[in-house]
Amino acid sequence: MTDNTTRRSPFLSGLFSAIVPGAGQLYNGQRYRATAILVGALVVLGMVVWYGEPFWYISPVIIWLWNIWDAVSLSAGRTRSILAPVLFSLLATYGIGWQVVQINFKSASIERAVQIVRPMLRPDFVTLRTEKNSIWVPVQVPCAPNPPKAENEINGIKAFATPNCASVGETVIVSASGLWPDTETQVWWQTPIGDPKMLGENEAAMLVIKTDSSGSLTTTIRVPSTALAAAPDPTLPFQHRVYFEQFRPIGGFVISSNGRYVLQGMTETLALALMATTLSIFLAIPISFLAARNLMSANPLTFGIYVVVRTILNIVRSIEPLIVAIIFVVIVGLGPFAGVIALAIHSVAALAKLYSEVIEGIDPGPIEAVRATGATWVQTVRYGVVPQIVPPFTAFTIYRWDINVRSSTIIGFVGGGGIGFFLIQWIQINDLRAVSAAFIAIAVVVIVLDTISAKVRERLV
């Protein structure tokens, strides 16, 4: 590439490159190549030093050697292929990257995947419509002299317990009759303050007994160890209750309780995205004028404002709304409002930048033309400026609303409301069927909105 007149000493070329990678190339007049080599070598070296594994030092060494050889070759008028250094840089980058992010395909167990996918195939959105049959019987804990009789009758269903009173940990025989025959019945304990306690194994499972063909059941229960946990004085006798509850399908489906949460979450998510986007429009429009270079470079003062506004917008834009939400959860508490503010702040920064670029790109031609007709300033803005900026502003806003819907599905992870708030809890308690319902709802809503907004934007552009 270099011709005879600019040829340099091979020795010096090599020496320069040995001292500073790229210097020999610079000496040979290859400024671009020199910069690329220097930057590349420094990046690879920095990375390898940071990671510290001796093996990878091979990469910067090879790049260094190649760089000397290249400089010497250049002085002889030959350009060497950059394949080798590029290859070794990539090798080091991906090798180190692979180790840094701890890629481990062994942990990807198929069995575990099946365990996850199977419940997810049955999303918890609807449940069979059921009717309920229930009865309770009072039991005094602990015993006082002359406890009231432990029996109760509602709508022909009878229940009683013997003895009439017991202390924590003691056994009581409870029976009920007049229930639906051959139906599974849940038996559970309710403390005087309304806390439900389970009576199954280790007090961690629901006790379920099937009624006999005449609709009766009898079982022994143990007074839960936590029955008195919230009592003001554990020695005072109180009336606790033992509940018997039956459910049977009566045909058809209703939305399950988790399904209702999914609906509530999605409604919140949509409302959140809508309010955040709307709020951000009002703030972003005035700010965008301050961030438009062509309007603000008239004098040093306005240019200073421009620089400050741009910088703030850039900083705010680089902080994800999820992080901003943390601060607002502290201020306004858990709930969608914190999410609205966090998303709105991020959107203001993002939209103001896009809007300001639109303003910077305004074609002066139409403005001139309108002014030439003798229009006033307001008319010029109305007919020369507004028609130019409204369609792109709207398109960008719809685009932002799309992004906000997606973001508002996760803002709840830190307490910002929306479906994410429920989703993270279901994940923590392992309720994969509910997770699956949330996933389906998110996909449906986002895809539908995507399609609509794509159609609207197509019309605008």
Please give the residue ranges that form the binding site for another protein (CB under 8 A): 47, 50, 93-94, 96-98, 100-104, 107-108, 112-113, 116, 267-268, 270-272, 274-275, 278, 314-315, 317-320, 322-323, 326-328, 330-332, 335-337, 339-341, 406-407, 409-410, 413-414, 417, 420, 423-424, 427, 432, 435, 439, 442-443, 446-447, 450
Cβ atoms < 10 Å from Cβ of 446: 15
Nearer to another protein, 332 or 389 (CB): 332
In angstroms, give the least distance from the CB of 268 to another protein. 6
In angstroms, give the least distance from the CB of 304 to another protein. 20
Half-sphere exposure for 165 (CA within 13 Å, toward CB): 15
The span from the CA of 368 to the CA of 374, in Å, is 10
Nearer to another protein, 213 or 428 (CB): 428
Nearer to another protein, 16 or 401 (CB): 401
In angstroms, give the least distance from the CB of 418 to another protein. 9
Half-sphere exposure for 247 (CA within 13 Å, toward CB): 9
Nearer to another protein, 138 or 412 (CB): 412
Q: Which residues contact 381 (CB under 8 A, 6 or more apart)?
A: none
Nearer to another protein, 242 or 349 (CB): 349
Q: How far apart are the first and last CA of the chain?
A: 47
Q: Which residues contact 454 (CB under 8 A, 6 or more apart)?
A: none
Nearer to another protein, 51 or 69 (CB): 51
In angstroms, give the least distance from the CB of 413 to another protein. 6
Contact 85, 61 (CB under 8 A): no
Nearer to another protein, 115 or 225 (CB): 115
CA nearest to 34, candidates 54, 7, 13: 13
In angstroms, give the least distance from the CB of 75 to another protein. 24
Contact 424, 413 (CB under 8 A): yes
Nearer to another protein, 112 or 129 (CB): 112
Nearer to another protein, 221 or 414 (CB): 414
What are 382's strand-pairing partners? none
In angstroms, give the least distance from the CB of 116 to another protein. 6
Q: Which residues contact 379 (CB under 8 A, 6 or more apart)?
A: 370
DSSP 395-430: HHHHHHHHHHHHHHTTGGGGT--SHHHHHHHHHHTT
In angstroms, give the least distance from the CB of 322 to another protein. 5
In angstroms, give the least distance from the CB of 245 to another protein. 32
Nearer to another protein, 205 or 326 (CB): 326
The span from the CA of 191 to the CA of 241, in Å, is 7
Residue where the block lists tokens 């849940």: 186
In angstroms, give the least distance from the CB of 23 to another protein. 25
Burial 402-420 (b: 16+ CB within 10 A, else e): bbbbebbbbbbebbbbbbb
Contact 152, 160 (CB under 8 A): yes
Burial 321-343 (b: 16+ CB within 10 A, else e): bbebbeebbeeeeebbbbbbbbb
The span from the CA of 244 to the CA of 159, in Å, is 9
In angstroms, give the least distance from the CB of 139 to another protein. 42
Residue where the block lists tokens 């103001």: 352
Decide: helix, strand or coil at residue 248: strand
In angstroms, give the least distance from the CB of 398 to another protein. 14
The span from the CA of 388 to the CA of 386, in Å, is 5
User: Which of the 8 DSSP states describes residue 213?
Assistant: T
Nearer to another protein, 228 or 270 (CB): 270
The kind and range of the H/E element at 222 are strand 217-222
